[in-house]
């Protein structure tokens, strides 16, 4: 055991609630001790479910373990907590590319570039993906070779993510922070976890029963036609309610640090994904 | 001019605003209003209060504090709401070309003055 890992292990043992698990997990991962790294990260993420760093660490370890579906979910969780997180955007871009979806990969890389235009590895990765899209050649190794916040994933295989299809595949944050509800207030898809980790999905879904009808009545009686969306600015979060179909409503919830207009754009994208999913499964 | 009238007046001056009301959140009764012809104040009050109440409960269930601003977007305009003091909601009905960003700022400011 190296000195730094021993030191970090001692620190974590002395103070289990500290954030030393982040450094320890990363140190173990870099040394290839993936199982030990995973245990440390899982404990930390369980203790700090609202900490994007913890999910980011989990994603890197899972990616190294070739658990691409797990890595995708963890990076999605990190993005849900911190939508501007470049490492998660790059990680998901990497996974999309490995899964053969260059367009989604490019979309995530471009958003990463918007957040951090000075990161040369993102620019290089965008160029490589664009080239690959044109020539349909082998996948780029941007994630593995670039000096980026997402360290190399040398053990990753070319297996695409194998998780089952959800209503929000391809949407930032995936199922987290999205709630698709039928006209009876029953949840069709998505999950909504509170900051304290409590799963509020079904309760919120029940509160939304009839919201669509009420909104429709309000706008119609006021001579405003049908309703498109309802945006709520809360001091600690932003919510957008939309209606993917006549019988469903979709609630998109994000941290208040994400501007409301961007939550609106995200909600539109999620509504399109939900509509498409409903058509396939319905 | 009373604080309530002043608050309504500030919002009404914004281009594209068709009407402004101060309503009670619990039962949707009109406390004060400045409306253009053709806007049904009582309907706006009752429906908006009910909708804001429902959405506030959903936000609370999601672990969020009550909303400071609500924007209901329709085909040809929007309903804006800014909860004020306990059980009061400032509501505006605006056309499609209204500057919603400006209305939002004025309404939040006006609502805070009603506290």
Is B79 within 8 Å of A219 when comparing Cβ atoms? Answer: yes
Angle between helices A68-81 and A86-98 (to 10 degrees): 150
Q: How far is CA A151 from CA A61, A138, A189, in A?
A: 10, 20, 33
Using DSSP's 3-state secondary structure scheme, residue B69 falls into strand
Q: For chain A, give the percent of residues with pLDDT over 90.
A: 17
Give the pLDDT of residue A160: 40
Give the pLDDT of residue A86: 85
Who has greater pLDDT, A5 or B43?
A: A5
Residue range A171-189: mean pLDDT, rounded: 87
Residue A199, chain B, CB below 8 Å: the answer is no
Give the pLDDT of residue A1: 65
Give the pLDDT of residue A188: 92
Give the pLDDT of residue A280: 81
CB contacts, 8 Å: B72 with chain A: 215, 218-219, 227, 229-230
Is B72 within 8 Å of A192 when comparing Cβ atoms? Answer: no
From CA B40, how far away is CA A84, in angstroms rounded? Answer: 43
Model confidence band, residue A212 (pLDDT cutoffs 50, 70, 90):
confident
Residue B105, chain A, CB below 8 Å: the answer is no
pLDDT for A104 beyond 60? yes
Is B72 within 8 Å of A195 when comparing Cβ atoms? Answer: no
Give the pLDDT of residue A190: 92
Angle between helices A52-64 and A86-98 (to 10 degrees): 30
Model confidence band, residue A121 (pLDDT cutoffs 50, 70, 90):
confident
Give the pLDDT of residue A159: 39
Give the pLDDT of residue A282: 66
Nearest CA in chain B to A197: B63
Please write down the HEC assignment for all residues of A194-261.
CCCCCECHHHHHHHCCCHHHHHHHHHHHCCCCCEEEEEEEECCEEEEEECCCCCEEEEEEECCCCCHH
Q: Classify burial at B17, counting beta carbons within 10 Å of its beta carbon; exposed 0-12, middle 13-18, buried 19 or more.
A: buried
Give the pLDDT of residue B115: 64
Nearest neighbour of B79 by CB, restricted to A222, A236, A241? A222
Is A207 within 8 Å of B57 when comparing Cβ atoms? Answer: yes
CB proximity list for A3: less than 8 A, separation 6 or greater:
none
pLDDT for A198 beyond 60? yes
From CA A196, how far away is CA A277, in angstroms rounded? Answer: 30
Q: Of how many residues is chain B composed?
A: 115
User: How many Cβ atoms are within 10 Å of A143's Cβ, its own excluded?
Assistant: 23
Nearest Cα residue to B110 out of B86, B89, B95, B96: B89
Model confidence band, residue A248 (pLDDT cutoffs 50, 70, 90):
very high
pLDDT in tens, chain B (115 residues): 787 888 888 899 999 999 999 999 888 888 888 888 777 777 778 888 888 988 999 999 999 999 999 999 999 999 999 998 778 999 999 999 899 999 999 999 999 888 6
User: How many Cβ atoms are within 10 Å of B44's Cβ, its own excluded?
Assistant: 27
Q: Domains of chain B (ranges plus CATH)?
A: 3-113 (3.30.450.30)
CB proximity list for A82: less than 8 A, separation 6 or greater:
A52, A88, A255
- Looking at every residue in chain A, the average pLDDT score rounds to 81
User: How many Cβ atoms are within 10 Å of A13's Cβ, its own excluded?
Assistant: 9
Q: Domains of chain A (ranges plus CATH)?
A: 3-145 (1.25.40.10), 178-281 (3.30.450.30)
CB contacts, 8 Å: B67 with chain A: 232-234, 239
CB contacts, 8 Å: A253 with chain B: 62, 64
Give the pLDDT of residue B108: 93
Give the pLDDT of residue B64: 92
Helices marked H in B1-115 = 3-12, 41-61, 100-113
ipTM of predicted assembly, 2 dp: 0.92
pLDDT in tens, A139-148: 444 443 333 3
pTM equals 0.59
């Amino acid at each position: 055991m190296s000195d730094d890992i021993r030191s970090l292990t001692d620190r974590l043992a002395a103070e289990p609630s500290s954030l030393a698990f982040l450094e320890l997990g990363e140190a173990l991962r870099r040394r290839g001790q993936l199982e030990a790294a995973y245990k440390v990260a899982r404990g930390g993420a369980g203790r700090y479910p609202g900490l994007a760093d913890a999910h980011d660490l989990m994603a890197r370890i899972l990616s190294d373990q070739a658990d691409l579906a797990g890595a995708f979910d963890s990076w999605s969780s990190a993005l849900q907590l911190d939508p501007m997180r470049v490492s998660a955007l790059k990680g998901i871009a990497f996974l999309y590319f490995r899964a053969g979806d260059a367009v989604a990969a490019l979309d995530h890389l471009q958003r990463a570039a918007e957040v951090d235009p000075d990161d040369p590895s993102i620019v290089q990765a965008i160029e490589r993906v664009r080239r690959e899209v044109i020539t349909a050649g082998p996948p780029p190794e941007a994630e593995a070779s670039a000096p980026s916040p997402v360290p190399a994933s040398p053990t990753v295989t070319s297996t695409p993510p194998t998780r089952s299809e959800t209503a929000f595949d391809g949407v930032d944050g995936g199922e987290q922070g999205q709630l698709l509800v039928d006209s009876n207030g029953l949840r069709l898809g998505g999950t909504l976890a509170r900051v304290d980790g409590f799963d509020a999905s079904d309760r919120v879904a029940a509160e939304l029963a009839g919201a669509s009808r009420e909104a429709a009545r309000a706008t119609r009686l006021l001579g405003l036609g049908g309703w498109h969306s309802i945006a709520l600015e809360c001091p600690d979060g932003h919510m957008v309610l939309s209606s993917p179909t006549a019988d469903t409503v979709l609630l998109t919830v994000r941290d208040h640090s994400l501007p409301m207009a961007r939550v609106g754009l995200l909600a539109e994208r999620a509504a399109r994904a939900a509509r498409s999913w409903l058509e396939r499964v319905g | 001019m009373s604080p309530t009238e002043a608050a309504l007046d500030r919002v009404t001056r914004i281009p594209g605003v068709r009407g402004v009301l101060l309503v009670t959140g619990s039962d949707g009764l009109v406390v004060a209003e400045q409306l253009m012809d053709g806007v049904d104040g009582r309907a706006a009050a009752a429906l908006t209060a009910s909708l804001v109440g429902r959405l506030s409960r959903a936000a609370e269930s999601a672990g969020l504090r009550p909303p400071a601003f609500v924007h209901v977007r329709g085909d040809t305009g929007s309903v804006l709401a800014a909860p004020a003091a306990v059980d009061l909601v400032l509501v505006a009905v605006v056309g499609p070309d209204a500057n919603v960003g400006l209305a939002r700022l004025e309404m939040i400011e006006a609502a805070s003055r009603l506290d």
